[in-house]
Amino acid sequence: MLFKEITILNKDLEIEKDMYVAVEADRITYIGKTRPDGDFGREYDGRNRLLMPAFYNAHAHSPMALMRGYGENLALQDWLNTRIFPFEDKLDSNAVYWGTMLCMAESLRFGIVSSSDMYYFVPDMVRAVAESGAKANISRAIANPMGAPFESLPSLQEAKDAAAQFNGYADGRIIIDTSLHAEYTSNEETARGVAALAKETGTIMHVHLSETRLEHEECKMRHGGMTPAQYFESCGLFDGPALAAHCVWCEDEDLEILKKHGVVAASNPVSNLKLASGICPAAKMLQMGITVAIGTDSVSSNNNLNFMEEIKTFAALAKVKEMDPTLITPKEALYAATAAGAKAQGRTDCGVLAAGNKADLILVRTDVPNMHPVHSMINNLVYAAVPGDIVMTMADGKVLYENGEYTSIDLEKTIFEAQAATDHILHQL
In the range 99-138, which residues lie near its own copies by CB under 8 A?
102-103, 105-106, 109-110
Contact stretch for its own copies (CB under 8 A) within 5-13, 156-164, 289-297, 300-308: 300-308
Closest by CA position to 90, among listed 118, 70, 117:
70
Least CB distance to its own copies at residue 263 (A): 24
Least CB distance to its own copies at residue 148 (A): 31
Q: How far lies 372's CA from each of 50, 67, 258, 380, 381, in Å?
A: 14, 37, 40, 8, 11
List binders of its own copies among 12-51 (CB under 8 A).
Answer: none
Contact stretch for its own copies (CB under 8 A) within 22-30, 98-106, 120-128, 256-264: 98-106
Rounded CA separation 87/195 (Å): 29
Q: Which residues pair with 51 in a beta bridge?
A: 8, 363
Instruction: Answer whether 95's CB lies under 8 Å from 414's CB.
Output: no
Amino acid at 234: S
Contact stretch for its own copies (CB under 8 A) within 9-17, 221-229, 275-283, 334-342: 275-283
Q: Which of 383, 397, 398, 402 binds its own copies (CB under 8 A)?
A: 383
Q: Is 277 in the site for its own copies (CB under 8 A)?
A: yes
Number of shown-chain residues binding its own copies (CB under 8 A): 78
Q: Is 288 in the site for its own copies (CB under 8 A)?
A: no
Rounded CA separation 426/47 (Å): 48
Least CB distance to its own copies at residue 372 (A): 5
Rounded CA separation 315/268 (Å): 12
Output 228 or 330, the one with its CB closest to its own copies. Answer: 330
State the CB neighbour count (10 A cutoff) for residue 288. Answer: 14
Q: Which of 47, 199, 260, 372 binds its own copies (CB under 8 A)?
A: 372
Contact stretch for its own copies (CB under 8 A) within 15-23, 70-78, 156-164, 259-267: 70-78
Rounded CA separation 194/176 (Å): 14
Q: Which of 61, 135, 173, 312 binds its own copies (CB under 8 A)?
A: 312
Q: Which residues pair with 365 in a beta bridge?
A: 49
Contact stretch for its own copies (CB under 8 A) within 186-194, 215-223, 232-240, 418-426: 418-426
Q: Is 139 in the site for its own copies (CB under 8 A)?
A: no
State the CB neighbour count (10 A cutoff) for residue 34. Answer: 9
Least CB distance to its own copies at residue 69 (A): 3
Q: Which of 306, 338, 345, 357 binds its own copies (CB under 8 A)?
A: 306
Contact stretch for its own copies (CB under 8 A) within 62-70, 135-143, 180-188, 230-238: 62-70
Instruction: Answer whether 84's CB lies under 8 Å from 77's CB.
Output: no
H runs (alpha helix) in 262-303: 269-274, 282-288
Output 205 or 336, the one with its CB closest to its own copies. Answer: 336
CA 390 to chain centre: 18
State the CB neighbour count (10 A cutoff) for residue 276. Answer: 9
H runs (alpha helix) in 275-363: 282-288, 307-322, 330-337, 339-344
Least CB distance to its own copies at residue 138 (A): 19
List binders of its own copies among 350-369 (CB under 8 A).
Answer: 367-369
List binders of its own copies among 241-270 (CB under 8 A).
Answer: 270
Q: Is 292 in the site for its own copies (CB under 8 A)?
A: no
Contact stretch for its own copies (CB under 8 A) within 220-228, 260-268, 337-345, 376-384: 376-384
Cis preceding linkage at 303, omega within 30: yes
Rounded CA separation 134/170 (Å): 10
Q: Which of 37, 39, 69, 152 binds its own copies (CB under 8 A)?
A: 69
Cβ within 8 Å of residue 416, ≥6 positions away: none
Least CB distance to its own copies at residue 173 (A): 20
Cβ within 8 Å of residue 301, ≥6 positions away: 271, 274, 275
Least CB distance to its own copies at residue 373 (A): 4
Instruction: Answer whether 346's CB lies under 8 Å from 175's CB.
Output: yes
Instruction: Answer whether 353's CB lies under 8 Å from 10's CB.
Output: yes
List binders of its own copies among 74-93 (CB under 8 A).
Answer: 74-76, 79
Task: Give the burial class of 132: count Cβ atoms within 10 A of its Cβ; 0-12 exposed, 13-18 middle, 19 or more buried.
Answer: buried
List binders of its own copies among 159-218 (CB under 8 A).
Answer: 213
Q: Which of 158, 384, 397, 402 binds its own copies (CB under 8 A)?
A: 384
Least CB distance to its own copies at residue 177 (A): 24
Letters for 394-413 (x = contact with its own copies by CB under 8 A, - = none) are: -----------------xx-
